[in-house]
Amino acid sequence: MATVAPVSVRCGIKDVAESPVLAMKEVEIARRLAVVRVRIAAAAEREGLSPLNVRILAVSKAHGSEAVRAGLAAGLTDFGENYVGEGVAKMNELGLGARWHFIGRLQSNKTRLVAERFDWVHTVFREREVMRLNSQRPAASLPLNVCIQVRMQDADARPALPAEEVPGLAALISAQPRLRLRGLMGVPIPDAPRDAYLRLRSLFDELNASGLNLDTLSMGMTADLETAVECGATLVRVGTALFGPRPPR
Ligand SMILES: *Cc1c(COP(=O)(O)O)cnc(C)c1O
């Protein structure tokens, strides 16, 4: 009885077992993933939360498609990219098997590729992009999963939506047939993430109490994922801890 390698089946890749380099990378990423899972579990346990409620988004930006391939083999399912072209190139190389999240700055002239090729976008904060993504999402695809990027601190210069404007945009997104509002995303400035994360969690809870059905609070990266999990993150975006330092572009 031939045993079918589940990885080959899942991602349509035949060369996993044949390439020693890929096999090494796969073992390395599997080891790193185990460490990340322990970090998440320890943080969740400190707050009496279930680590099962925390998903891992593997941020593969600046790493090649072989890193994604090894990540899939190690059991990762969701990959995050900051540049549309780079993400699409990896999708084209890999074929089916991964779920792709756009986590970079959303530019109006790039919304079409995001709408056509990605499964998720975490960085929506303007009405204009909402309308474009909705009209550009192909009818044959499932609705595009959307998180609103929320401004975390007054000092934050990054483009994001102030908290008081989130309910309005959330209502607009919820009304679009080709979009599915999943939750909120935040990138805090480094010095005081805990307060910012707790505020984002409160906003998330308020939106759900007001009748929305959000399941995704996207916050925390390699350096601060424990803090984010303690504050109630349901998805952490992890690059370096899984794939190692990013090669210079
Ligand atoms: C690059 C990036 C990450 C991952 O960062 P690491 O520190 O490598 O884990 C997460 N979120 C966003 C928005 C990013 O740009």
Q: For 23-62, what is each residue's pLDDT tens digit?
A: 788 899 999 999 999 999 999 999 999 999 999 999 999 9
Q: Is the pLDDT of residue 80 over 50?
A: yes
> Does pTM surpass 0.75?
yes
Please give the Cα distance from 107 to 212 (Å, whole number). 27
User: b or e along 6-16 (b: 16 or more beta carbons within 10 Å of the residue's beta carbon)?
Assistant: ebeeebebeeb
Q: How far apart are the CA of 99 and the centre of ligand 1, in A?
A: 17
Percent of the chain with pLDDT over 90: 81
Cβ–Cβ < 8 Å for 241, 222: yes
160 CB within 6 A, ligand 1: no
Band (pLDDT 50/70/90 cuts) for residue 12 is: very low
Atom in ligand 1 nearest the alpha carbon of residue 221? 9
Q: Which stretches does DSSP call E strand in 33-125?
A: 55-59, 78-81, 99-102, 120-124
Q: For 86-114, what is each residue's pLDDT tens digit?
A: 999 999 999 888 999 999 999 989 999 99
Cβ–Cβ < 8 Å for 236, 248: no
**Predicted pLDDT of residue 9:** 39
Distances (CA, A) of 39 to 189, 228, 229: 21, 11, 9
**Predicted pLDDT of residue 135:** 98
Ligand 1, residues 221, 222, 229, 249: which to mutate, most atoms within 8 A of Cβ? 221
Q: For 170-220, what is each residue's pLDDT tens digit?
A: 999 999 999 999 999 999 877 778 999 999 999 999 999 999 999 999 999
82 CB within 6 A, ligand 1: yes
**Predicted pLDDT of residue 10:** 43
**Predicted pLDDT of residue 202:** 98
Q: How far apart are the CA of 18 and the centre of ligand 1, in A?
A: 31
Atom in ligand 1 nearest the alpha carbon of residue 243? 8
Q: For 63-78, what is each residue's pLDDT tens digit?
A: 999 999 999 999 999 9
Q: Is the pLDDT of residue 128 over 70?
A: yes
221 CB within 6 A, ligand 1: yes
Cβ–Cβ < 8 Å for 115, 133: yes
**Predicted pLDDT of residue 18:** 59
> Mean pLDDT throughout 119-147?
98
**Predicted pLDDT of residue 191:** 78
Please give the Cα distance from 202 to 3 (Å, whole number). 48
Ligand 1, residues 29, 84, 103, 227: which to mutate, most atoms within 8 A of Cβ? 103
